[in-house]
Each structure stands twice: as structure tokens, then as C-alpha cells.
Amino acid sequence: MKGMEMRGGRKRSIRLSNVYSFSCFRSSSGGNHSQIGQKGYSRVVYCNEPDHPDAKRLNYKGNYVSTTKYTALNFIPKALFEQFRRVANLYFLVVACVSFSPLAPYTAISIVVPLVVVIGATMGKEAVEDWRRKKQDIEANNRMVKVYGGDQTFHDTKWKKLRVGDLVKVEKDEYFPADLVLLSSCYDDGICYVETTNLDGETNLKVKQPLEATYSMHDENSFQQFKALIKCEDPNENLYSFIGTLYHGDTPYPLSPQQLLLRDSKLRNTDFVYGVVVYTGHDTKVMQNAVDLLPRGAELRGKWIRYKDIRGGMLVRWYLRPDATTVFFDPRRPYLAAFCHFLTALMLYGYLIPISLYVSIEIVKVLQSIFINQDPNMYYEETDRPARARTSNLNEELGQVYTILSDKTGTLTSNSMEFVKCTIAGTAYGHGVTEVESAMARRRNGGSLEIEDQLSNLTGDKGDGVDLTKSIKGFNFLDERIMNGNWVKEPHSDVIRLFFFILATCHTVIPEVDKESGDIHYEAESPDEAAFVVAAREIAFEFYERTQSSISLNELDPETGAKIGRQYQLLNVLEFSSSRKRMSVIVRNEEGQLLLLCKGADSVMFERLSEHGRIFEDETKDHIKKYAEEGLRTLVVAYRELGEEEYNTWQEEFVNAKISVTADRDSLVDAVADKIESDFILLGATAIEDKLQEGVPECINNLALAGIRIWVLTGDKLETAINIGESVMKQIEAGKSQVVSAKASSVESALIIDGKSLTYALDGDMEKMFLELANDCASVICCRSSPKQKALVTRLVKAGTGKTTLAIGDGANDVGMLQEADIGVGISGVEGMQAVMASDFAIAQFRFLERLLLVHGHWCYRRISMMICYFFYKNMTFGFTLFWFEAHASFSGQPAYNDWYMSFYNVFFTSLPVIALGVFDQDVSARLCLKYPQLHQEGTHNILFSWRRILGWMLNGVSSSIIIFYFVTTSTFPQSFREDGRVAAYEALGVAMYTSVVWTVNCQMAVSINYFTWIQHVFIWGSIVLWYLFLLIYGSLPPLLSTTAYKVLVEACAPSPLYWFSTLLAVISTLLPYFSYKALQISFFPMYHDMINRMQLEASAASHSSVSATARVEDRIRQLKDRLWHHSEP
């Protein structure tokens, strides 16, 4: 069967290179071949002789690939090292070590257990992640490929056994195992098609062409004598360049990227190819492009580590004073004593920097991730994929995102071009509503229901016709005047016919006929060409076969309605290029008429029209303008008839130009082509929609409203990039114009830069300037950028703005970018999983980003920052009561509380409410988060975790501790504290203070959170109850276990009214400052979420009172919303 196919393939024997008459196949002679053999160009490959003695001497690495961070041997030391590279872990390690010495003011176990748990959990996570990578590596390394062996046949070999110089045979739809130089293929001229989705995200096929010296080798036997030497550049990460020379016999042939088949790209449409391995394993371009895994430190964490350093400094200053400590231990060795004392203090005040913060944050983040994973609003039905938070430690950064760097293909767009409209002979056809249009319409009308209805009416009976229209990829055209053969009744039916005829012939698409069903599938270099061919097929011309010199169509006969097969002689193809911006073909029809058919950008086409060809010019221009506004890509379609003589003269010139060997051959060919491409007769224009993914315009609009800046980095061509950029930009502009009408003076502009320019822009000094320029632009589009460049741009933006950047992409080409950014979001689409594997969050559709950032991001940011602030607060409150007591115990290191009170403080009595805060608290509901995207700016400006706020909370903690300590001690000492005349001693003070602390921090929590469910109630009040229960139970244990807590509650404290009254006093007094501050702040300096809550409250209150008032309030809210953005300062 296989053999049959192969033979079939060869029988076709199409010299496809004839179709691509020039540009496509010219070897890029830009490379500097003279450098071969010098520094940076030293690689030597002995083709088909991997065992050549010289090759062995060179000893290039094999094709074994390892992407793991650790090996089984070095895992423990390396992972431990990684862990203790974190300052915090190291600090806890020191504390844990010291806690085993008699210096410890409390038991060692309470420090060691959490440390072991934390480190163990993180290392476990690392191990699992690395194991996954390992499994992938194993899978890839053991894949099979056919390698030419000494016995003159190809046999299966594992990928990892591949060596440089091996001759391999890769079959259809297989991945290339290494970077290969193409020798020949199943086609006679040796070309092959590759899909580079994994490298640049584009799904279209690229043509590769072998050297003349090798393309004729089809026979397995012919390889027996094949010996060649390749000298080429050293491994590098540049995907689009390759310089080398192949010496076959003694003749040198220049090698270019045209001959290079990259690892991880896929062979398509070609039964098999033969190639020589030049780069293996980590030397391959794609591996060179992989960016090393960098440890990701969340910003918040960074901050609290700094906070810890400050605290550490304070400890040192307090305690490294020998004079204060000579009373301690051995007075003859004051410095040693001082040091010992310092260590004691270090542990005692470990409560200011508790390891439990670590643990709690980890727990909270994991729970938050579960909520993200469980959100059905981010579940994509079609691919059955929910959102996945793959790392949990970046949740809060989602709420701080300032810049989004987005891939285009597959991320913003669904990578399908759809033929939606056209204008023919001055008449516009097509009712399809584009996404951009509908989004704009929706916004204009405030998303009211009627409009939606109208829209759905407008889109025709799209609902019913879904099966009909959707089944045809690339075709979303609806117009009863043209469809179903009705076009013949239109006034200019001949023009219409010609128009679609051009669409069916003027392209470089290759048809693939499914032998069983007879369906035709089109393989096109760019998806819009496929869309044209599909459109032509749907109307009248079914393109089904291409040979080197002909194009065959099934035409709909206007009179009979029957299909007639016709063949057209294809004389020349004048390829599309970015400078020409047009493409032409010259065909001879069955009547012998010579036609020059052309499609191109309006900028170049209108000037090439002949005098009598401008009949429809004005209408067409109008329509094109309208289409462009709708975000459609337009091409002008025109033709002209050629005289036999004119053609012959031109043809001669053209051939001469093509075979010329001067350096400016390209421009020569262009000039000749230019000559004939004039005096066109205008037919009309097409409008293609580069289909944005569902919901992308609204999503981008809301993200723009949220103040997020969007950069688009794409591997696409400039034109494509600009086009999609325009449609995206429209959204942003539209959004912005709402927002900053006051500052309309600042013109919204977009910066568009291509890969080559980017190379310079990213170089040295330019970098800063580039960033400055980019910062002034509303959005930035970088096109033709390599994966590495994407990563570099990401790094630049990250470093330059100093704010959180998020990268979103879907392909292997985005991996570097995703890893470089603070947050990488992978689209788990159909393009494989590499992006997802490298990402921190995986979502199925771009539009889910909105919910991820604005809802989950906002909540997580708010929760984590509140949580950390509160954690500081509660441990300051606790720690400083210890400190004040210390001050009254001659700084001897005596804790005010029983060991176990201290150990359990962060475990039982205060931990659960904090975790509840970190997991459940929400200032505003999800609906409102989406309704007021501006709320996101609380995160980008980081106002909830500013130093002021942290210090404020810490100050609150210190003042609480002062109030608690002094109120409790002054009211309880030194007089008797009960009616029976007994006085409170050390243990009673501990209990009284501790009770106040537990009440205070839990009530503080109750005052500061915004959201009470039964969970919060249970946790907060439960923690307080638990403290009393604990005291009861612990106090009833034998005194040797309970020591100072023995019966302290039952016997000493509970019967004393003073104990209860001093608690009440301390608790209310500590809450007063914060409560007053918050009341003032909400009333007079409300934050954004306060206002939203307030507006909601007013609205609901009003809706209760009367129905008519509801409308008024809504109106009011809308007014407020508008005013919000115009007001500047109180």
C-alpha cells in the first residue's frame, strides 16, 4: 500500500518549482559564505559517514535530549541547595538548628516540623515536575526514525542514537528528529512541505528545496555512493538563518535556510524526504531557543523577604549589645554570651517572621488554584478543557498585570481566514457580520438586549445555517444574490464570473483530493489564499488539479447549471512579496485568450488601472474603506487581456531576467514583472476576516479599560500582523476613547516593528529608546519575531517597566516568552501542549483571560496582600507583647507565654481565619469585577500592598501589642486580682495577655474582611472558643506536662472578673484605632471597591423602595461611572 502511494507520488512528477516561478526558491544569498570555516562557522559534517575518523574526532554530541533540571543523583543536594538559596528558608534552617541547643526558649519540634513540611512539599513538587519532563524526554528520545545503515537499507533507530552525518528518511506527518539538510524527496524536484507550528505558531505549510546536486537521489541504492561534506555555522538559536556549504565531489554548493529542516517541525504533504543530520540534540535550533528555567519569585514574596531582613537587622541591633547581656550566662565571656543571647532572641522573635506565613500562603494559593480550576466560566465546551493553574505561586500577580504580551496566531485569532464580503462591479455583497462590527455595535448600544437580537437577525439565519456555513472552513459569506448560482441573474454577471475565476486561478494553492470521498482539501501557504479558493468553489469554480503548467477547474455553467471541467494553461506566476504587494498569473484559456489575472493591495492596485478599467473605482474604494474599518483584510482584484505579441516580448525579457546571475536579479525580475502588471481592469475587491477567537474583541476592550497595555508579538508577516493589529487596535482605541476623552490630545498610536528591526532595537543602547517609544504607544506589534526575540522583548518589557508582565501564547514558539514573563499563560488549543507545559496558567480561549485577570487575579491579589498584611499584623501584635514583657524581664529571653501557647498561636488560634481570608474573601462579586474592569488598577498600582499599607498594618500591630500589654498589666498588677486576695503571677499574666491577643487578632479579622460566610464565622469565633477549650484541656493535664498552664483557667482566671474585664477593655481599645480609620477612609477617601460596594448598596436599597427609582439609580450609576473618568482630584 505504502509502496503504491509512493509510486503514485512519483508518478505525479510535478515540477512544482515551475509553479513558484521565482522569489520563493531563490537561495538567500545574503549569508556570508566566505566565513565558512572561520570562527562561528566551524561545523563540519561528513554526510552519510558518521563513522568517518574525522567525524569521530570532532565528537559532536548525540541526539539525546534532556530538559530536566535534576538527575536522580544530584536531585537531593541540588534541590536542597535551591531551597536554601531562598533567604527565608535559610533563616528558618538556622533557627531550627539553634532550636536544638539549650538556648532555645521553646521546644525544637515546633520549628522543625513546619520547616521539614515546607521544604519537603516544595521539593516534592519539583520532583514531580521534573519527572514529567523526564517522561517527555524519554518519549522523545525513544521515538523511531529510519536511518541509512551500512547495509544499504534504512532501518528504524531511536532518536537518541542519531549522530551528526546520519542519513535519515522521514515520512509523511512525522517530526524531524534533528536539524537536517534536505537532500531529496518523493517529488522529482525534491521539494517538500513542512509545518512549523511548533516553531513559529503558523499552521501554513512552508516549502523547502534541496540543492541541485542532490535532489535527484530517490533510490535507496543511490545513497551507497553518496558522500559529501558540509561545512556550516556553529549551533545558534536563529531559526531563520543558516549558512553552510555542501561539497559534493569537489564542487561547493551554498546552503541556505531553504535546505534546513528543523527539529520539531513536521513533514506534510510529502510522502518522504531524505536528509542529513547536521545539528543534533541540544545543538538544534529549537533547543538553542529554549530559555533556561528561571526561578520565579513573586513580587509580594520578595517584599516580605525584604521585610524580614529589616526585622533581622532590628534583632541584631537590639541584641548584639554585650553590656546588656553580661548578666546572662558566663560574665567572663561577654561576647560569647552576647552571641548566645542573640540566638535566643532570634528564635523568640521568630514569631515576627513566622514560618507559618510560608505554610499558610502555600495552602491558600493551592486552594485559590483549585477555585481557578473549578471555574465553569473558564471551561471551554468544545475542547473539554477547564482552566488550569499549573503553578500556584503566581495567583496574586494575575491581579497586578500591567502589560500583556500576546502571541497572535492561535491566541488572538483562531488562525482561520474567512471570506466574508466582496465588492464586485461596484456592488457590495455579503451580509456576514464581523466580530469587530458586532463588538462595536454592542458597545455603542450598551449591550442592551434588543441590539443583540437585531444583531443575530442581521447575521442572517446564522443560527439555523450553522451546520451549513460552519462546515466550510474559510467561508462565511452570505448573500442570496450570489449564492446558489443566483449570481447569473445579477446585472454584471460576467464581471462576477471573472471575479471568481480570478480567485480560483490566481494563487499558489495545492489541492488534495480525498480519493474516497472526493472532497478537495486545499494546502495553502497562507490561509487567506485557501479562503479565496474555497469561495470560488462555493460560487462557481471548483479548483481541483494543478500541474506544472495547468490549472483545472470544474466550472458551473451559467445556462445549464451543470459542471464542466476546464483546463487552463498556466504560463507564469508572479509571486506575492511584501514589496510587490500583489500577485499575478498569466493563463491561456481554452479559447486561446491570454489573461493576466492579478490580486493585490489597494495601495498598489489602483494606480495600475487602465483608463477604461476604472468604471467601478469610486464605489470599490468606498467599500474597501468600509471593510477596512470593519477590520477586514482587503485585496483588489483586476485583470487584463494580453496580446500574443505583447506577451511573447515580455516573456523573453522575463526569462532573461530570471536566468541572469547578477546580484540585483531580484529587482530585475521585479522590474520586468512590473512592466506587464499595468493597465488593469478593475473588477472588485475581496474582504477576508482573519477570524479573531470568540470574545476576543470584548476581552481586549475590557482589558484595555482595566488599564492593561497589550503588545502583540507574532511570527507573522508584516501585512498580516498589521491587519490583525488594526482590528485589535480598534478595540483598544474605542475603549480608550471612552476612558480618556479628557486627554484626547494624546494621539493613540501603535508601534509596529518587524523582526529584523527588532534585532537592532534590542541591541545595547537602542533598547532603552525602543522601550521609551513603545511606552508612548498604546499598543505595540512586533512581527516576524523569532521565539528568542519574543523572549527578549518580554525580558525588556519586564525589566523596563518594572511591572508585572503576562505573556500568552499557544505554540512551542511562545515557550521562551512564556517562561521569560512574570506570568506565562498557555492556550491549550490544538497546537500541541508545549506552551501549556511551559505556562503557569493554561486556559482554552483567549477570552478567559479577562475572567482570569479581572476576577481571579483581582481576588487573589487582594486576598494575598490582605493576608500578608494581616499576618504581619497578627504576628507583630503577638511578637511585640513578648517584647514588652521582655523589657520587663531584663531582656533575659523569657517568653511571656507557655511554650505550647506560642507553638499553637500560628497553628490553631489564628491560622484558619487567615486562610479563610486568603481563600474566600471578596471585596466585590465576580459580576462586578467584570462590570468595572477599572478595579484591576488597584493591582497594577499595587495600592493594597504598598509599603505604606504594610507599615500601617505593622504599626497597628505594634500599637495593639502596646495597648494589650499595658492595659492588661496595669489593670491586673500588682494588686490582688480576685476577691479572695490572691495575686496574679507569671502564668496568669500570660493567659490574660494571650486571651486578649487571640480575641484582638480574630476580631480585627472580623472587622477587616468584606465577606462573611458561615466559614468565616466558624473559623473566627471557633478560633476564640478553641483557645478556651485548649486552655481547659491543657490545664487539666498533669502539672509536669502542663507546667504553668496547670488549672490556670479553671482555678485562677475564670473566677476573676478582672480577667474578663481587662480582656474586653484591651480588645475594644485595640480595635478602635483601626475601626475609626476605616470608617473615615471609607467615608472620605474611599477606594474604588468601596465605591462600587456603596453604589451597589444604594442601588439595591433604591430597588426595594420603588421600581421607578431603580431606573433612576441605574441612571445615576451610569453617570457616576462616566464621571469617574473625568474627575481628577478631590
Partner 1 sequence: MSSNAAASSSGGAGSADSAAPRRNSKRPKYSRFTQQELPACKPILTPQWVISAFILVSVIFIPIGVASLLASRDVVEIVDRYETECIPEPLRGDKVGFIQSAANKTCERKITVPKRMKSPIYVYYQLDNFYQNHRRYVKSRSDAQLKSPKEENETKPCDPEGTSGGKPIVPCGLIAWSLFNDTYSFSRNNQQLVVNKKDISWKSDRDGKFGKKVFPKNFQKGGLIGGGILDESIPLNEQEDLIVWMRTAALPTFRKLYGRIEVDLQPNDIIHITLKNNYNTYSFGGKKKLVLSTTSWLGGKNDFLGIAYLTVGGLCLFLALSFTIIYLVKPRKLGDPSYLSWNKNPAGH
Please say if 557 is a catalytic residue. no
Is residue 370 within the footprint of partner 1 (CB under 8 A)? Answer: yes
Instruction: Work out whether 978 is an interface residue with partner 1 (CB under 8 A).
Output: yes
Query: What single-letter DSSP state applies at residue 923?
Result: S
Q: Which stretch binds partner 1 (CB under 8 A): 37-45, 356-364, 589-597, 918-926?
A: 918-926
DSSP state of 225: S
Least Å from the CB of residue 1078 to partner 1: 6
Q: How many residues bind partner 1 (CB under 8 A)?
A: 145
With CB under 8 A as the contact rule, the residue among 20, 25, 247, 1011 that binds partner 1 is 1011
Give the distance, in angstroms, between the CA of residue 567 and the centroid of all CA atoms in the same chain.
48
DSSP per residue, 54-78: HHHHH----S-----S--TTTHHHH
Identify residues 41-80 at the interface with partner 1 (CB under 8 A). Answer: 65, 67
CA dihedral sign, ordered 830, 832, 834, 836: positive
Under rule CB under 8 A, residue 1012 binds partner 1? yes
Q: Does 386 bind partner 1 (CB under 8 A)?
A: yes
Would the annotation count 629 as a binding residue? no
Judge whether 790 is annotated as a binding position.
yes
Residue from 937, 961, 1000, 1063 binding partner 1 (CB under 8 A): 937
Binding mask 176-215 for partner 1 (x = CB under 8 A): ---------------------xx-----------------
293 sits near partner 1 (criterion: CB under 8 A): yes
CB of 274 to partner 1, least distance (A): 20
Segment 990 to 1009, residues that bind partner 1, using CB under 8 A: 990
List 731, 834, 881, 911, residue binding partner 1 (CB under 8 A) = 834
- CA distance to 106, 632, 1033, 1055, 1060, per residue, from 1047 (Å): 21, 81, 9, 12, 17
Among 595, 815, 964, 997, binds partner 1 (CB under 8 A): 815
Stretch that binds partner 1, among 40-48, 453-461, 687-695, 1047-1055 (CB under 8 A): 1047-1055
User: Does 819 contact partner 1 by CB under 8 A?
Assistant: yes
- Regarding 989 and contact with partner 1 (CB under 8 A), the answer is yes
Q: In sequence order, what are the residues at sequence separation of 6 or more whose Cβ sits closer than 8 angstroms to the Cβ of residue 712?
A: 405, 406, 407, 408, 412, 721, 724, 725, 728, 779, 780, 781, 782
Residues 686, 599 contacting (CB under 8 angstroms): yes
Does residue 407 have a known ligand-binding role? yes
According to DSSP, the residues that pair with 228 across neighbouring strands are 47, 248
- The answer for residues whose C-beta is within 8 angstroms of residue 312's C-beta and 6 or more apart is 91, 353
Question: Can residue 228 be called a binding residue for partner 1 (CB under 8 A)?
Answer: no
What are 298's three cell numbers?
Answer: 513573586
Written as one string, the DSSP assignment of 748-813 is --EEEEEHHHHHHHTSTTHHHHHHHHHHHSSEEEEES--HHHHHHHHHHHHHHH-S-EEEEE-SGG
- Contact indicator for 409, 811 with CB cutoff of 8 Å: yes
User: What are φ and ψ of residue 941, in 5° steps?
Assistant: -85, 0
Could you give the CA distance from residue 520 to residue 541 in angstroms, rounded to a whole number? Answer: 13
Cell numbers 490553631 correspond to what residue? 908
Measured between alpha carbons, how far is residue 51 from residues 278, 606, 924 in Å?
Answer: 14, 61, 69
Q: Which long-range contacts (CB under 8 A, 24 or more apart) does 956-959 make?
A: 956/873, 956/876, 956/1073, 956/1074, 957/872, 957/873, 957/874, 957/875, 957/876, 957/877, 957/880, 958/876, 958/877, 958/880, 959/1070, 959/1073
- Out of 981, 1104, 1107, 1108, point to the residue binding partner 1 (CB under 8 A): 981
Other CB atoms within a 10 A radius of the CB of residue 1055 amount to 14
Q: Which is nearer to partner 1, 907 or 1068 (CB)?
A: 1068
Q: Is 1120 in the site for partner 1 (CB under 8 A)?
A: yes
Minimal distance, residue 216 CB to partner 1, in Å: 30
170 sits near partner 1 (criterion: CB under 8 A): no
Report whether 482 contacts 556 (CB < 8 A). Answer: no
Residues 297-316 that bind partner 1 (CB under 8 A): none
- 3, 376, 446, 643: which one binds partner 1 (CB under 8 A): 376
799 binding partner 1? (CB under 8 A): no
Cα 485 from Cα 684, distance rounded (Å): 19
- Binding flag, residue 797, partner 1 (CB under 8 A): no
State which of positions 858-897 bind partner 1 (CB under 8 A): 859, 885, 888-890, 892-894, 896
The rounded distance, in Å, linking the Cα atoms of 917 and 1008 is 10
328 is an interface residue for partner 1 by CB under 8 A: yes
Q: Which of 407, 602, 690, 754 is catalytic?
A: 407
| Residue 810 annotated as binding site | yes
**Out of 122, 289, 392, 1063, the residue judged to bind partner 1 by CB under 8 A:** 289
Q: Which is nearer to partner 1, 405 or 496 (CB)?
A: 405
Mask for 95-114, x = binds partner 1 (CB under 8 A): ----------x---------
Q: Does 1010 bind partner 1 (CB under 8 A)?
A: yes
Select from 12-20, 406-414, 680-688, 936-944 the region that touches partner 1 (CB under 8 A). Answer: 936-944
Of 323, 382, 514, 607, the one binding partner 1 (CB under 8 A) is 382
When asked if residue 379 is in the footprint of partner 1 (CB under 8 A), the reply is: yes
Side by side, the strands of the sheet bearing 228-232 are 43-47, 228-232, 244-248, 251-255
Query: Does residue 749 belong to the site contacting partner 1 (CB under 8 A)?
Result: no
Residue tagged 554526510 (cell numbers): 47
What's the CA gap between 988 and 248, in Å, rounded? 95
CB of 1094 to partner 1, least distance (A): 4
Which one of 4-12, 867-875, 898-906, 1091-1099 is the stretch in contact with partner 1 (CB under 8 A)? 1091-1099
- For position 266 contacting partner 1 by CB under 8 A, the verdict is yes
Q: Helix 334-348 crosses helix 299-319 at what angle (to 10 degrees)?
A: 140
Confirm whether residue 715 is marked as ligand binding: yes
The answer to whether the annotation marks 633 as part of a ligand binding site is yes
Give the C-alpha separation, 1060 to 1054, whole Å: 8
CB 884 within 8 A of CB 965: yes
Among 255, 984, 997, 998, binds partner 1 (CB under 8 A): 984
Is position 409 annotated in a ligand binding site?
A: yes
Q: How far is the CB of 853 from partner 1 (least distance, A)?
A: 16
Among 1085, 1104, 1107, 1108, binds partner 1 (CB under 8 A): 1085
How far from chain centre, in Å, is Cα 680?
45
Choices 272-280, 351-359, 548-556, 1119-1127; region in contact with partner 1 by CB under 8 A: 1119-1127
Of 155, 649, 1057, 1112, the one binding partner 1 (CB under 8 A) is 1057
Identity of residue 553: L
Please report whether residue 1106 would count as binding partner 1 according to CB under 8 A: no
784 known ligand binder: yes
Q: Using CB under 8 A as the criterion, what x/- string covers residues 130-169 for binding partner 1? A: --xx--xx-xxx-x--------------------------
> Taking Cα atoms as reference points, which of 55, 49, 56, 48 lies closest to residue 214?
48
Following CA atoms 102, 108, 112, 113 in sequence, which dihedral angle do they give, to the nearest 10 degrees?
170
Confirm or reject binding of residue 1078 to partner 1 (CB under 8 A).
Answer: yes
Alpha-carbon gap, residue 242 to 180, rounded angstroms: 11
Residue with cell 486556559: 843
Annotated binding site for ATP: 407-409, 529, 576, 599, 633, 714-716, 784, 790, 813-814
Annotated binding site for Mg(2+): 407, 409, 810, 814
Question: What residues are labeled active site?
Answer: 407
